[in-house]
Structure 1
Amino acid sequence: MPKKNVFISLFASVQLAIFLLFILAATSIIGTIIPQNNIPDFYIHRYGARTAHFFQLLNITDMYNSWWFLTLLGLFSLNLIVCSLERLPHVLRMIRRNILSLTPKQVRSFPMQRAITLDAAPDVAIERVRALFTHQGWSPKTADKDGETLLAAEKGGWSRLGVYVVHGSILIILIGAAIGSSTVAEKILHQPTFAYKGSIMLPEGQATNHVIAFKRGTHIDLGFHLHCDDFSIEYYANGMPKTYRSAVSILEQGKVVRKGAIEVNHPLTYKGVTFYQSSYQPYQQYRVVLQRQQDGLETKDIVTTAQEVNWPQGGVSYGIVNRESRGEVTGRLKIWFSDGKGDPSIFWVQTGQEALVKRSDTTYRLVIDQLYATGLQATKDPGVGLVYGGCVLMLAGLYVAFFLSHRRLFALIRPDGQGCRIFFAGDANKNRIGFEKKFSEFINKLEH
């Protein structure tokens, strides 16, 4: 007998698969506990300089794109492939095996067996057993075996492939993860724009055509412009953010090709790039909309505190002289307002709410909003379709592997005096207890 290849013996080992799964699970826990893709100062401040340097050496701060984690995934994939190729031929032979090729001795060795005597001629007994097989949903085949008649049928032989469907789905998921890895895109494909994760801090009213790649800090071109049209935020009564939303436009060659909104758990995808709402940054600048109601004349400005703003067309000057804030978020603003006729108006206005400024001969409508920058995470993952497809395939494979079984049913009929002796045998590779119950019910129908 030829000696088995050492490489195949190693990678066909179930023990190796369990070991690799344990290592992958342990490292994944580490990657979950330690925040990923933050700036170096974050890790120095939280863990200290030495630990942060150790994290950097092992690339733990971007663990799922690190060379060693991808190597573990590669070894696990190789293990799955070799295991499957090593065992699959035997399973295929079992599925393709002619069920009538079994001898009476082999049939009598099956774990489920029962013998009955039927008061009928052999031909009649064979037809009754065949009818019972057919009525119960089995498709029997018949052969003569050493003076006995063998009726044999099987169901679900293909269910033995369920575990290999699961193996294949895992490989598809891993391939999809590798395709979507920024490390693979940059260091193997040498195309950083093929797959990446980055961030944008985009002020209201501005546009960008690039994102900042996580960790590397390099600019990655989007291939289009993303414009922040508006940012809105709602707060709870205690001042904590309740929800925030970015209204954006996508521009190509200076033209708007799409408008949309980005909210927490409601991303926006365009040309394979998905934008997630991740943060925001309030600025100490304010967007002012001032309208003279008499004739509808309007002006819009971006202003800061302690700045006098002139509106020559409307004959008005105004400014922000004070503010009430909670942290960086402004709640109220104190406004100085003059149209050169009488004493200036001084009043408080809530940010985002309309205020009417009544002067001697007209009324002005004033709305002031605090300016924000929206923090977005941008992800381009061309392998995500494979990952989702692999997950669906895995569910199908798990269902087949755990809930379906390969069942075989046999009947050996031989003359016995004035009647026939019928020996029934059966087997199932899974859920044998359930099949034993059906096996008994099957025979009882013949007896009664």
Structure 2
Amino acid sequence: MSVKQRGFFGRLWDFFCSLKLTIFILIALAITSIIGTVIQQNLSRQEYLRVFSEDTYRVLDSLQFFDMYHSWWFIGLLLLFCVNLTCCSIKRLPRVWRLVHNPSVTPSEQMLKAFSNVDEKLVKGDLPTLLDRMKAFVGAEFATAQVNEKDGSTYLYAEKAKYARFGVYVTHLSILIIFLGAIIGNLYGYKAFVNIPEGGESDRVWMRNGQTSIPLGFSVRCEDFSVEFYGNSQRPKEYESILTVIDQGETVIENRHIEVNDPLSYKGITFYQSSYGPAGDEVISIKVKVRGEDKVDAFSLHRGQLVELPSGDRLRIADFTPMFRNFGPAARLEVLPKEGEARVVTLFKNFPKFDEERGGDYIFTLVDFDQLYYTGLQVTKDPGVWVVWVGCTLMIVGCLVAFFISHRRMWVVLTPQDNGKIGVRLVGSAHRNQPAFELYFDELKKKFRDALSA
């Protein structure tokens, strides 16, 4: 390999290890995520054309802004960030590895002077006795010390939580794992929807554009749907579906109640209660009584359906609403007599005797109505979700280690002097949370001097 080639690969390596590249990628991800939030994703072409012009739609569609999180450039940004993070970690890891596994047990004078947490004292006594005293002191107050000699000086070295230096790398690894899970989810997962009427079933779901269907590999049947409203309004208070899952002709999940924030999951596919709506016209129950007689006829009618009364007159439901202002369900009937003009009658379910005051040959009562609903389900499949959870767990562990645990080191250096005394130097260092370590070292200095004076 030539010098020129080595220079190119060196510059390429520096580029991928660059902090500027990291900042650029993070800003790009933030901006594109804002775009993905502002522009609603995975709608149909018709829905987008209600907001954008034809030319704007084509430009945004070519840039994949309508399915941004599955676009090649967004996944490319994630991969570039992974490469950048990996290169930065690899570049700095060897130094940390050497520091942890090959610590400087006999540091140079220049290295010792670089530390700010230092105390030293000249004492009388013989070296072996003083060494044993200092070894016992370090072991009692800090950690077990190892003894080494160099250039006539004796060094005691002890450390705590040395693997805390790898906390940041655990955090980096967790980010890579989370991104891996996100990429797996984007490539092999989906978010879709399906509307199932009561009593119906479906073995397919549809993407948000409404044009692409995805087979489930099993069927989901809506056994029942119920909705509860606030007071006499049509504002939903609570609604739920009862679902049954049928796989290869066998019922595997039966009558499972689901509601908002309580989904159903099967084979890695999750069904969330998302919406609902009417499935067809209401079935309206009315009673007809001939004034002055005891006989009552009951009818169950759809809107617009014509029915003949025993007298030969005819009747149909002209209109119906489940909530007329604050009066509750109301219906408008058209009575078509054999002779004469048609008459219009208004009925209220909450006022069953309302029509008695009208007069006329008939007394009509709105008994009840039955509305079939469809349940709207949001369907998600994310095979990378467990990978993301593993990454999140590692991130919590890595952050706790990186921010709350520090690698602390302690040296005691005993150096015989020409006057027969021994110079004893206590040196301490921590790679995180320096203020807390300084407070700890101040207390340790007092105990250090007490141990020397004993």
Q: Do the aligned residues in 2 keep the contact of 1:104 with 1:145 (CA within 8 Å)? A: no
- Aligned to 2:279, the other structure's residue is in SS state strand
Letter in 2 for 1:304: H
- CA distance in 1: counterparts of 2:107 and 2:431, whole angstroms: 17
Q: Do the aligned residues in 2 keep the contact of 1:200 with 1:376 (CA within 8 Å)? A: yes
Specify whether residues 303 and 211 from structure 1 end up closer, same or farther in structure 2 by C-alpha distance, changes over 3 A only. Answer: farther
Specify whether residues 149 and 319 from structure 1 end up closer, same or farther in structure 2 by C-alpha distance, changes over 3 A only. Answer: farther
- CA distance in 1: counterparts of 2:422 and 2:106, whole angstroms: 23
Q: What is the Cα deviation at residue 27 of structure 1?
A: 0.8
Deviation by residue 1:87-121 (Cα, 9 ceiling, x = unmatched): 21221111111432433553343232221233443
Determine which of 154, 166, 173 is the counterpart of 1:161: 166
Q: Do the aligned residues in 2 keep the contact of 1:99 with 1:153 (CA within 8 Å)? A: no
- CA distance in 1: counterparts of 2:125 and 2:43, whole angstroms: 83
Q: Do the aligned residues in 2 keep the contact of 1:103 with 1:145 (CA within 8 Å)? A: no
Letter in 2 for 1:332: P
Is 1:437 the counterpart of 2:433? The answer is: no
- Aligned to 2:251, the other structure's residue is in SS state strand
- CA distance in 1: counterparts of 2:243 and 2:301, whole angstroms: 23
- CA distance in 1: counterparts of 2:397 and 2:95, whole angstroms: 22
Q: Percent identity?
A: 37
- CA distance in 2: counterparts of 1:303 and 1:14, whole angstroms: 72
Normalised to the residue count of structure 2, the TM-score between the two structures is 0.79
- CA distance in 2: counterparts of 1:418 and 1:303, whole angstroms: 115
Alignment length (residue pairs): 398
- Aligned to 1:180, the other structure's residue is in SS state helix
Corresponding residue for residue 414 of structure 1 = 415
- CA distance in 2: counterparts of 1:8 and 1:277, whole angstroms: 49
Is 1:243 the counterpart of 2:243? The answer is: no
Map of 1:134-173 to 2, 5 A cutoff? 134-173=139-178
Map of 1:2-401 to 2, 5 A cutoff? 3=7, 5-181=10-186, 184-185=187-188, 195-215=189-209, 217-237=211-231, 238-258=233-253, 259-286=255-282, 304-307=302-305, 322-326=319-323, 332=329, 334=331, 348-349=348-349, 368-401=369-402
Unaligned runs of 5+ in 2: 287-298, 309-313, 334-345, 351-366
- Aligned to 2:372, the other structure's residue is in SS state strand
Letter in 2 for 1:269: S
Corresponding residue for residue 339 of structure 1 = none
Corresponding residue for residue 355 of structure 1 = none
- CA distance in 2: counterparts of 1:135 and 1:401, whole angstroms: 26
- CA distance in 1: counterparts of 2:283 and 2:193, whole angstroms: 25
Larger radius of gyration: 2
Letter in 2 for 1:197: K
Normalised to the residue count of structure 1, the TM-score between the two structures is 0.80
Q: Do the aligned residues in 1 keep the contact of 2:285 with 2:301 (CA within 8 Å)? A: no
Unaligned runs of 5+ in 1: 186-194, 291-300, 311-316, 337-345, 351-365
- Aligned to 1:30, the other structure's residue is in SS state helix
Letter in 2 for 1:209: D
Q: What is the Cα deviation at residue 325 of structure 1?
A: 3.6
- CA distance in 2: counterparts of 1:34 and 1:68, whole angstroms: 17
- CA distance in 2: counterparts of 1:69 and 1:427, whole angstroms: 43
Specify whether residues 232 and 319 from structure 1 end up closer, same or farther in structure 2 by C-alpha distance, changes over 3 A only. Answer: farther
Q: Do the aligned residues in 1 keep the contact of 2:119 with 2:425 (CA within 8 Å)? A: yes
Q: Do the aligned residues in 1 keep the contact of 2:283 with 2:302 (CA within 8 Å)? A: no
Q: What is the Cα deviation at residue 24 of structure 1?
A: 0.4
- Aligned to 2:105, the other structure's residue is in SS state helix
Specify whether residues 302 and 135 from structure 1 end up closer, same or farther in structure 2 by C-alpha distance, changes over 3 A only. Answer: farther
RMSD between aligned residues: 3.1
- CA distance in 1: counterparts of 2:331 and 2:247, whole angstroms: 41
Letter in 2 for 1:396: V
Specify whether residues 303 and 377 from structure 1 end up closer, same or farther in structure 2 by C-alpha distance, changes over 3 A only. Answer: farther
Letter in 1 for 2:424: I
Deviation by residue 1:29-71 (Cα, 9 ceiling, x = unmatched): 1111221122222222123333333221111111111111111
Q: What is the Cα deviation at residue 368 of structure 1?
A: 3.8
- Aligned to 1:378, the other structure's residue is in SS state strand
Q: Do the aligned residues in 1 keep the contact of 2:42 with 2:207 (CA within 8 Å)? A: no
- Aligned to 1:47, the other structure's residue is in SS state coil
Letter in 2 for 1:374: T
Q: What is the Cα deviation at residue 324 of structure 1?
A: 2.3
Corresponding residue for residue 446 of structure 1 = 448
Q: What is the Cα deviation at residue 326 of structure 1?
A: 4.8
Q: What is the Cα deviation at residue 174 of structure 1?
A: 1.0
- CA distance in 2: counterparts of 1:82 and 1:302, whole angstroms: 74
Q: Do the aligned residues in 2 keep the contact of 1:108 with 1:425 (CA within 8 Å)? A: no
- CA distance in 2: counterparts of 1:210 and 1:371, whole angstroms: 21
Deviation by residue 1:217-271 (Cα, 9 ceiling, x = unmatched): 2221101110011111222244322222111111123332113122222211111
